[in-house]
């Protein structure tokens, strides 16, 4: 069971057919002595209103709204929050998506909590009771779209639209009472396997094939949210093979699903993944803008461009992607990654909402119309491997519902639900979780530079691990300086932003410290705003990051976690301590070998 629903100890019956059924059942179990009446009000849609009645509560809303209202009432009550006599809420984004990178083999790409919940050995393989529990889990934090298969569509996941469609429809039936619509990642080149000689999006036969396929799919799953597409990215097929742009590609698919209210969610993760490290002209963060900016306004109304939050790839610190700021006439979704690929593999603590808060604070209201997050779920009993990693899924749900959510309040709510310690203990755990991202940031790659990680696996330090590789992720650290100049006089990356945004970062003297090496190439002797030398700041952050990890381990030890979380948390913290020590020492040694500058405080930097 996932931690925040620990107190919902009753099973979910398999005969519930609608969100209202689920809401009624959950409320009856949660509040056995209380009268809660459900008041269908389709005008509220997914929103809800809670009104205290003489004998209990009235929950109003559209069908899904009633369910969200029910979970809000249950969770607020269980977490000890006072529910106002009248309280209403509605989701900010209509699509609140969770993207599973599950392969039908049962492996999960970048999965750190066991094997796939849906697949094994090339076919569907799931426990229906666990699927209902997953439905509860997602509905309880307000998510409403579940893409069940990897954006890299490996064989035989293409068959989700074909031979496996009846089984996919059966799974959709399980999730439907939880207000959740399925989505599938699709293979742009699929028509080639069905007798067509091309997958050119402007070819009439291709367009027909997709329309026919969409008709069959929507006949089986009328409320499918749509298709998710990774095209022309890291070896995936796409419109470029046919000399077409991505608007032409996406719009073709959009036309096919439009009659059914479906969306095409089109990922914008396009860059040259065969870059030569010797090439200093190409700057990978610029790639997405170069591919997409000129297409702004050309996408159909049911296409959503799904853009990773930063211009690289889910690093610990990146500026918000220029596409998210600049594509003003296009439907956009921001893509987050709950799976801790670069952020500690669900071994190290990394609570993400402080990072999301910064990103959303840099984003004008209404600039995006949706959010998506790569799932951190797997077949582990607690779903997320590390019990405390569940906070990221829960708070993602809160953010997707209300992007102005306060980070501290969100984490605190999760802590109270998941563990319900004494107020002092709850506060300690909340503070620890809120600080965990900065701690991880401190002991890993310095000041926004990213990528100093072990190649392929992406856990642990390797300062030059990607430096001479094909992926466009270089730091160019030498004996004098480190970083890439991405200002207008450098690669020009900053010119992809508005003048206001640019002004914040373009001068190293005023650029926020934590972004300094993302945007600038600087000598180790550069003076930070606080007077420290850049190299000293690097050392200081790393020693601090390790020290904070030690302190976190002591706080965790002092808290009364129940079993089996206790053992799992302790075991993973031992691993995190080793990892933080390796990062701290290796990064310091790497820069000390280059710079020759000793630590001002005489701490040990190994030769």
- Nearest of 262, 289, 300, 336 to residue 497 by alpha carbon: 289
Identify the three-state secondary structure at position 172.
helix
Least distance from its own copies to the Cβ atom of residue 278, Å? 4
- Nearest of 194, 184, 197, 298 to residue 251 by alpha carbon: 298
* Displacement of CA 440 from its chain's centroid (Å): 17
CB of 431 or CB of 582, closer to its own copies: 582
What's the rounded Cα separation, in Å, for the pair 58 and 41?
Answer: 12
What's the rounded Cα separation, in Å, for the pair 509 and 165?
Answer: 58
CB of 361 or CB of 464, closer to its own copies: 464
CB of 154 or CB of 476, closer to its own copies: 476
- For its own copies, the binding residues in 262-301 under the rule CB under 8 A are 277-278, 280
173 belongs to the catalytic site: no
Least distance from its own copies to the Cβ atom of residue 12, Å? 44
592 counts as binding its own copies under rule CB under 8 A: yes
Burial of 576 (0-12, 13-18, 19+ CB in 10 A): buried
Choosing from 133, 187, 232, 313, the catalytic residue is 313
x-marked contacts with its own copies along 515-554 as a string, rule CB under 8 A: ----------------------------------------
Cis link prior to 342 (omega < 30° from 0)?
A: no
The residue with tokens 């700057």 is 283
What's the rounded Cα separation, in Å, for the pair 248 and 269?
Answer: 17
CB of 45 or CB of 455, closer to its own copies: 455
What's the rounded Cα separation, in Å, for the pair 50 and 29?
Answer: 18
Least distance from its own copies to the Cβ atom of residue 111, Å? 22
574 counts as binding its own copies under rule CB under 8 A: no
Q: Please, which residues have CB within 8 angstroms of residue 548's CB and are 6 or more apart in sequence?
A: 435, 439, 442
CB of 402 or CB of 582, closer to its own copies: 582
Least distance from its own copies to the Cβ atom of residue 142, Å? 43
CB of 24 or CB of 475, closer to its own copies: 475
Local structure of residue 264 (DSSP, 8 states): E
Choosing from 102, 187, 341, 585, the catalytic residue is 341
- Cβ atoms of 15 and 22 within 8 Å: the answer is no
**Site size with its own copies, rule: CB under 8 A:** 25
Q: For its own copies, which stretch binds (CB under 8 A), given 124-132, 289-297, 409-417, 590-598? A: 590-598
Instruction: Pick the binder of its own copies from 156, 523, 593, 599 (CB under 8 A).
Output: 593
Least distance from its own copies to the Cβ atom of residue 448, Å? 20
607 counts as binding its own copies under rule CB under 8 A: yes
CB of 247 or CB of 477, closer to its own copies: 477
548 belongs to the catalytic site: no
- Cβ atoms of 415 and 433 within 8 Å: the answer is yes
Helix axes 19-30, 128-140, angle to 10 degrees: 80
- For its own copies, the binding residues in 404-463 under the rule CB under 8 A are 461-463
234 belongs to the catalytic site: yes
Least distance from its own copies to the Cβ atom of residue 482, Å? 10
- Cβ atoms of 370 and 96 within 8 Å: the answer is yes
CB of 197 or CB of 282, closer to its own copies: 282
Choosing from 173, 234, 279, 554, the catalytic residue is 234
Q: Angle at the Cα of 164 (from 214 to 149), degrees rounded to 5?
A: 80
Compute the Cα dihedral for 410, 415, 420, 426 and give only its sign. negative
What's the rounded Cα separation, in Å, for the pair 397 and 158?
Answer: 29
**Based on C-alpha coordinates, what's the Rg of the chain?**
24
10 counts as binding its own copies under rule CB under 8 A: no
Instruction: Pick the binder of its own copies from 88, 189, 198, 589 (CB under 8 A).
Output: 589
CB of 127 or CB of 464, closer to its own copies: 464
Q: For its own copies, which stretch binds (CB under 8 A), given 128-136, 411-419, 470-478, 546-554? A: 470-478
- Cβ atoms of 359 and 373 within 8 Å: the answer is no
606 counts as binding its own copies under rule CB under 8 A: yes
DSSP string covering 278-347: T--S--GGGHHHHHHGGGTT-S-TTEEEEEESSSSSS-SS-PPPHHHHH-TTS-EEEEEE-S-TTTTTTT
- For its own copies, the binding residues in 471-510 under the rule CB under 8 A are 476-480
Q: Give the binding site for its own copies (CB under 8 A).
A: 277-278, 280, 461-464, 468, 476-480, 582, 585-586, 589-590, 592-596, 606-607
Give the residue numbers marked as catalytic.
234, 313, 341
């Amino acid at each position: 069971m996932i931690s925040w629903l620990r107190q919902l100890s009753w099973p979910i019956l398999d005969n519930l057919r609608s969100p209202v059924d689920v809401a009624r059942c959950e409320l009856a179990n949660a509040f056995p002595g209380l009268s809660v009446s459900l008041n269908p009000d389709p005008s509220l849609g997914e929103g809800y209103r809670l009104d205290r009645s003489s004998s209990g509560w009235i929950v109003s809303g559209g069908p899904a709204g009633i369910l969200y209202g029910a979970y809000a009432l249950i969770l607020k009550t269980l977490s000890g929050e006072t529910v106002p006599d009248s309280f209403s809420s509605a989701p900010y984004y209509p699509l609140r998506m969770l993207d599973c990178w599950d392969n039908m083999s049962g492996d999960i790409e970048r999965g750190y909590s066991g094997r796939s919940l849906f697949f094994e050995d090339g076919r569907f393989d799931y426990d229906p009771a666990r699927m209902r529990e997953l439905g509860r889990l997602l509905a309880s934090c307000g998510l409403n779209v579940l893409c069940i298969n990897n954006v890299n569509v490996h064989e035989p996941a293409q068959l989700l639209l074909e031979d496996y469609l009846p089984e996919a429809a059966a799974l959709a039936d399980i999730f439907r009472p939880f207000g959740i619509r399925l989505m599938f990642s699709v293979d742009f080149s699929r028509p080639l396997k069905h007798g067509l000689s091309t997958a050119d999006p402007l070819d009439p036969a291709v367009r027909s094939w997709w329309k026919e396929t969409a008709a069959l799919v929507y006949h089986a799953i009328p409320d499918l949210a749509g298709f998710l597409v990774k095209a022309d990215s890291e070896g995936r097929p796409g419109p470029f093979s046919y000399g077409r742009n991505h608007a032409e590609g996406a719009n073709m698919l959009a036309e096919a699903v439009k009659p059914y209210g479906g969306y095409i969610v089109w990922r914008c993760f396009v860059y040259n993944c065969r870059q030569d490290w010797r090439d200093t002209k190409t700057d990978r963060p610029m790639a997405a803008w170069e591919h997409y900016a000129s297409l702004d306004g050309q996408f159909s109304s049911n296409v959503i461009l799904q853009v990773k939050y930063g211009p690289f790839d889910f690093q610990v610190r990146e500026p918000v992607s220029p596409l998210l700021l600049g594509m003003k006439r296009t439907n956009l979704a921001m893509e987050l990654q709950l799976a801790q690929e670069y952020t500690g593999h669900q071994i190290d603590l990394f609570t993400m909402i402080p990072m999301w808060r910064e990103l959303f604070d840099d984003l004008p209201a209404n600039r995006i119309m949706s959010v998506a997050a790569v799932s951190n779920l797997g077949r582990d009993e607690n779903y997320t491997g590390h019990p405390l990693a569940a906070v990221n899924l829960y708070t993602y749900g809160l953010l997707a519902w209300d992007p102005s959510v306060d980070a501290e309040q969100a984490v605190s709510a999760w802590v109270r639900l998941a563990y319900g310690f004494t107020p002092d203990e709850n506060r300690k755990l909340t503070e620890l979780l809120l600080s965990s991202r900065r701690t991880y940031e401190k002991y890993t790659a310095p000041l926004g530079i990213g990528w100093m990680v072990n190649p392929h696996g992406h856990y642990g330090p390797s300062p030059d691990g990607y430096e001479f590789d094909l992926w466009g992720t270089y730091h160019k650290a030498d004996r004098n300086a480190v970083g890439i100049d991405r200002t207008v006089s450098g690669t020009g990356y900053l010119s992809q932003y508005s003048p206001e945004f640019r002004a914040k970062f373009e001068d190293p003297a005023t650029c926020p410290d934590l972004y300094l090496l993302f945007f600038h190439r600087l000598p180790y002797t550069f003076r930070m705003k606080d007077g420290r030398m850049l190299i000293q700041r690097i050392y200081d952050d790393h020693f601090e990051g390790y020290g904070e990890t030690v302190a976190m381990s002591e706080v965790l030890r002092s808290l009364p976690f129940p079993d089996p979380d206790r053992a799992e948390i302790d075991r993973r913290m031992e691993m995190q301590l080793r990892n933080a020590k390796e990062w701290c020492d290796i990064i310091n040694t790497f820069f000390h070998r280059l710079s020759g500058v000793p630590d001002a405080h005489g701490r040990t930097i190994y030769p």
